[in-house]
Amino acid sequence: MTLPISAERVSTPRLTLNVLSVPDSAGDPVVFVHGNVSSSAFWCSTMTAIAAEGFRPYALDLRGFGDSDPEPVDASRGVRDYSDDLLALLDRIGPAHLVGWSLGGGVVMQAMRDRPEAVRSATLVNPVSPYGFGGTTGPDGVLTSPDGVGSGGGAANPEFVAALRAGDRSADSPVSPRTVLRATYVAAGTDLGEEEDAFVESMLSTRIGEDHYPGDSLPSDAWPGVAPGKRGVLNTIAPTNFRIDDLHEIDPKPPILWIRGDQDVIVSDTSLFDLAHLGAIGAVPGWDGTPAQPMVTQTRAVLDRYGAYREVVVEGAGHGPHLDKPAEFRAALLAHLRG
C-alpha cells in the first residue's frame, strides 16, 4: 500500500514554508532536508516507507526551491538562512530527527551546531564537507587562496544554469537537468522509473538568479579566476562563508549517521564538480596545480573529532543512495532512528 503525501503551507516568523507530511502518521518526528537543485519531492518514497515503520515524517522545501517562499539568500551567513528556516519549523513541531542530503547535510550540521537540543539525531546523506564546496585542501580545510577562489556562484556550469532557466525537460544535452540527474544524482545506469519526471520537475523548481541559484561571484587573479560572492545558493557553501570545524564542542551531542554512496561523483575526494579536480584531469584549462578538495576525508576528520557517529557506505550507490539503493538506505536509516 502506498501512503499518501500531503503538502501544507506552514507560516513561520521568517517565511512560509512548503512542508510535506504523511497524514495520520504517528511517532517520533523525522524532518528531511533536500539538497541543491532539488526539493522535498526527492524524499516522498522514503517518507512513506518510514511512516509505515512508526515514524512521523516531514520534508520542507528550502527557500528558493519547490513551493516555499523565494526569499533571498544571504550567503554571508553561510547556510544559516536555511538552517534558521529549519529551526523555525522545529519550533512548530518540536525536537526531531534530522536527515540532510548534500547541501541539506550542511544545513543539518549548522542546525545542530546552533541548537543541538532541538535535534534528536542527525543523518548526513552524502553531505557537503564541513569546509564547504571547493577552494580548500587537506583534512582541515585550508583555503587554497584567501578569497576562496574556485568556489561559489561563479563555479556553476553556465550551460546548466541556462537549461534550468529554460525549463529544459529533455535528455538531449549533457547539461540538461534530466541528463545531470541520471549521470550524477544517482549511480550510472540507475532506472528511476516513473519518479524521474517528478524529480526533473523538482529540479526545475529552483529559482535562478544572484539571490538564489547559482548566486553572485567576484573576479580573482588566481586560477580559475572566480571567487565567491555573498548572495545565493553556491555562496552559502563557499569556504569563505561556511565552516563547521567545532561540531565536537556542542552539548548535547546527537548521534550521527553518515551514509554515502561509493559511486558519488559530486561529494568526493575527486569530485567532478570541483574545478580543481577538473583542472587536474584537463577538463578546465590553465590548471596551476591547485589541489582538489578531499571532501570525504574532511567530513571524516570532523566526525572523528565529534565521536558519536557511524559511517555506512552503500555499494553501487551514487550521490542519492535513497534514490538508487532505497532498501539499503532505509535499513540503515531505520536502525539509526530506532537506536
What pLDDT score does 133 carry? Answer: 98
Q: CA angle, corner 13, sides to 10 and 19, nearest 5?
A: 20
Q: Residue 214, preceding bond cis, omega within 30 degrees?
A: yes
Flag whether 69 is in a domain.
Answer: yes
Cα dihedral 138, 260, 114, 240 sign: positive
pTM of the full predicted structure?
A: 0.98
Which residues span the domain enclosing 98? 6-146+235-338
Flag whether 219 is in a domain.
Answer: no
102 vs 288: CA distance, rounded Å: 28
| Number of domains within the chain | 1
> What is the amino acid identity at position 136?
T
175 closest CA partner among 193, 162, 190:
162
Flag whether 106 is in a domain.
Answer: yes
Q: C-alpha distances in angstroms, 27 versus 54, 161, 230?
A: 6, 40, 40
Flag whether 205 is in a domain.
Answer: no
Q: Which residues of the chain have pLDDT under 70?
A: 1-3
Strands 119-125 and 256-261: parallel
CA terminus-to-terminus distance, the chain:
26
Instruction: Render pLDDT for 198-252 as a digit per residue (tens, 0 to 9).
Output: 999 999 999 999 999 999 999 999 999 999 999 999 999 999 999 999 999 999 9
What pLDDT score does 2 carry? Answer: 56
Residue 90: which CATH number?
3.40.50.1820
267 vs 330: CA distance, rounded Å: 21
In the block, residue with C-alpha cell 540532510: 100
Flag whether 264 is in a domain.
Answer: yes
What pLDDT score does 3 carry? Answer: 67
In the structure grid, which three cell numbers stand for residue 100, read together? Answer: 540532510
CB 236 within 8 A of CB 213: no
Burial 9-34 (b: 16+ CB within 10 A, else e): ebebebbebbbbbbeebeebbbbbbb
User: What is the 8-class DSSP label of residue 288?
Assistant: -
What pLDDT score does 301 carry? Answer: 98
Flag whether 313 is in a domain.
Answer: yes
Flag whether 22 is in a domain.
Answer: yes
Flag whether 115 is in a domain.
Answer: yes
What pLDDT score does 57 carry? Answer: 98
